[in-house]
Amino acid sequence: MKKTIVFILFLITSTANAQQSASIVGAGKTVDPYHYASVKSVTFNKAVVASAHPLASEVGAAIMKQGGNAFDAMIATQLTLAVVYPGAGNLGGGGFLIARKSDGKSVALDYREMAPAKASRDMYLDKDGNAQNELSENGHLSSGVPGTVAGLFATMPFAKLSFKALIQPAIDLAEYGFVITAHEAAALNSTKEDFLKYSSQPSAFIKDQPWKAGDTLIQPQLAATLKRIRDNGSKGFYEGETAKLIVEEMQRGNGMISYDDLKNYTVKQRTAIAFDYRGYNIISFPPPSSGGILLAQMLKMIEKYPVGSYGFQSAKSVQLMIEAERRAYADRAQHMGDPDYWKVPQKTLMSDAYLAERMKDYNPNKASVSADIKAGTIHESEETTHISIIDEQGNMVAVTTTLNNSYGSKTVVDGAGFILNDEMDDFSIKPGVPNMYGAIGGEANAIAAGKRMLSSMTPTLVLKGNKPFMVVGTPGGTTIPTSVFQSIVNVIDFNMNATDAVNKPKFHHQWLPDEVMVESNFSAETKMTLEKMGYKMVDRGGIGRTELIKILADGKRESAADGRGDDSVAGY
Ligand code: GLY
């Protein structure tokens, strides 16, 4: 008997060792959690992943080298980000996937969070009708029902490898740990008080001494959750132990998410937005994201002007683009919301006639005033994260996911080790009251049970001659569509390479507040000229963290990871 037990133990031990030694993650292995660095720009021959963290990009590239395609890489990269980039990578948030398969068919998966069944239009108003932004921005009540895990499983039919193979790197990184960057250390330190305030129990993200670069972050509870998902599929998150842990966390902090909310979560297949800009075909995400429509509106509003000849970041080109941004965002506030609850006039908003009408009062010598620009009549800290991927076969995948604010609600699900989103703040909690990004909304984006809150995420693909040309996207709350807009204009109109298109200073106007936000390295001369024309110019920190892949004429993949963060590319 004793012998038998020893034999079984030996078998288990040797299997575990074999698994661990087969893993691509470990000291000295393909993905080394203790030695890594950001790689900002490389032109690869065949395949590339650009994401917010070097370890996540390395995992995605390794998966493709093992025979996976861009969808496999996306699933593995996103799961890895949930471990190595807790500020935005997530299991407790949601996202959008836009893809173009090598056979030319496009895929648009909506795994945006949903308002819980108990949510209601005025849930964030006090008895006097005042908006309580604090409740929609932080803590248990700010969370929508997470969609990320369902989104990963909805992507599996397009993938080639087993889910077990795709999730294992994330499990290893959570279980054995990885060293954190200076950015991550600073972010965890500055969020410590919020974690203490909005979580009911201590978590792996909190320690007595301040975090510093090179410390190892180990997340055993998260590893256990990932294993439940590995073993039980989607039910490993939406039912059973993980669901119980989420609901118990909700009960401790007056949150609303119930067992039924989790069980009933569904991914929606959407129809991608497709339009032309100067002979290129652009494919982007439809509502409940505002991103694709805004992108189409802004590009089409400037298309009849020879922007390239105006010069990059000349007052003339920037002023035109600001006015396009202003008008598009006025429409966002009025007309956009979850299409299952609100009739979004998508076709009209993107039509040439409507957009020509919107630009009729555009004056190239003077700032318009937002108070005069209403929405057309129809007859977001900004911690989202983006992954751009292209594989050897030409499958293109762009995915943007979000917890909303940095570290979301700052509520860590005790026992499950992941952070919940604060996506409820993306609804309009009261008409005319700005959300954390200063965005205004109304009836179209009012809260309702089961509704998806309006997003700005803009994962985007560009084709040239019906062949892959660009994969692009960025985090940044309401600045997302304007950053993607400017990155595309930088490449198409200003002939920039991927690195410049991503890293050159960006600007942002969103109708209200009526001001132009610019990065600190924005041209001082252009700023002065615009101020003289009547624009209020406001300096701010970095705008977006764009990941861009440009496919060159010889088929090589030129890639750029944003210099504003730990972003990194990997490929072969
Ligand atoms: N939470 C940011 C967005 O979805 O736009």
Q: Which amino acid is at 275?
A: F
Q: Is the separation of the CB atoms in 125 and 133 below 8 Å? A: no
Structure tokens at 231: 């073993």
| Ligand 1 atom, smallest distance to 404 CA | 1
Residue where the block lists tokens 């074999």: 18
406 lines ligand 1 (CB under 6 A): no
What CA–CA distance (Å, rounded) separates 193 from 279? 51
Q: What is the mean pLDDT of residues 505-516?
A: 96
Residue 2 has a pLDDT of: 30
Checking if the pLDDT of 565 tops 60, the result is yes
Among 96, 148, 380, 436, name the best residue to mutate to test ligand 1's pocket (greatest count of ligand atoms within 8 A of Cβ): 380
Contacts of 565 (CB under 8 A, 6+ apart): 52, 183, 542, 545
> Whole-number mean pLDDT of the chain?
94
3-state helix, strand, coil in the chain (%, to 5): 40, 15, 45
At 274-325, the pLDDT tens digits run 999 999 999 999 999 999 999 999 999 999 999 999 999 999 999 999 999 9
Q: What is the mean pLDDT of residues 217-234?
A: 98
Residue 381 has a pLDDT of: 60
Name the binding residues for L-glutamate: 112, 402-404, 426, 455-456, 477
289 lines ligand 1 (CB under 6 A): no
What percentage of the chain carries pLDDT values higher than 90? Answer: 92
Structure tokens at 442: 């109304």
Residue 6 has a pLDDT of: 29
What CA–CA distance (Å, rounded) separates 58 from 80? 10
Q: What is the 252 CA–ligand 1 centroid distance (Å)?
A: 26
- Tell if the pTM clears 0.85, that is, is over it: yes
| Ligand 1 atom, smallest distance to 290 CA | 5
| pLDDT: which is higher, 2 or 79 | 79
* Omega cis (within 30) before 345: no
What CA–CA distance (Å, rounded) separates 354 from 362? 14
Fold of 273-381+456-544: Serum Albumin; Chain A, Domain 1 (1.10.246)
Residue 193 CB neighbour total at 10 angstroms: 11
SS3 460: strand
Q: How confident is the model at residue 441 (pLDDT cuts 50, 70, 90)?
A: confident
The gap from C-alpha 196 to its chain's centroid, in whole angstroms, comes to 26
Q: What is the mean pLDDT of residues 548-571?
A: 98
H or E stretch at 502: helix 498-503
Q: What is the 149 CA–ligand 1 centroid distance (Å)?
A: 17
384 lines ligand 1 (CB under 6 A): yes
426 lines ligand 1 (CB under 6 A): yes
Give, using CA atoms, the residue closest to atom 4 of ligand 1: 455
Which among 313, 280, 284 is positioned nearest to 473, based on CA atoms?
Answer: 284
What CA–CA distance (Å, rounded) separates 161 from 340? 33
What CA–CA distance (Å, rounded) separates 464 from 470? 9
Q: What is the 285 CA–ligand 1 centroid distance (Å)?
A: 13
Residue 379 has a pLDDT of: 58
Q: What is the 483 CA–ligand 1 centroid distance (Å)?
A: 14
456 lines ligand 1 (CB under 6 A): yes
Residue 358: Cβ-neighbour burial (10 angstroms; 0-12, 13-18, 19+): buried
CA dihedral sign of residues 362, 515, 501, 102:
negative
What CA–CA distance (Å, rounded) separates 482 from 297? 11
* Length of the chain measured in residues: 572
Q: What is the 45 CA–ligand 1 centroid distance (Å)?
A: 33
Q: What is the mean pLDDT of residues 415-443?
A: 92
Give, using CA atoms, the residue closest to atom 1 of ligand 1: 404
| Ligand 1 atom, smallest distance to 426 CA | 1
Residue 437 has a pLDDT of: 81
113 lines ligand 1 (CB under 6 A): no
Instruction: DSSP for 264-313, please give it.
Output: T---EE-PPEEEEETTEEEEE--TTBSHHHHHHHHHHHHTTS-HHHH-TT
At 198-213, the pLDDT tens digits run 999 999 999 999 999 9
439 lines ligand 1 (CB under 6 A): no
Give, using CA atoms, the residue closest to atom 3 of ligand 1: 455
404 lines ligand 1 (CB under 6 A): yes
Among 402, 419, 453, name the best residue to mutate to test ligand 1's pocket (greatest count of ligand atoms within 8 A of Cβ): 402
At 34-86, the pLDDT tens digits run 999 999 999 999 999 999 999 999 999 999 999 999 999 999 999 999 999 99
Q: What is the 403 CA–ligand 1 centroid distance (Å)?
A: 8
Which amino acids are annotated catalytic? 384
Residue 4 has a pLDDT of: 29
H or E stretch at 538: strand 537-540
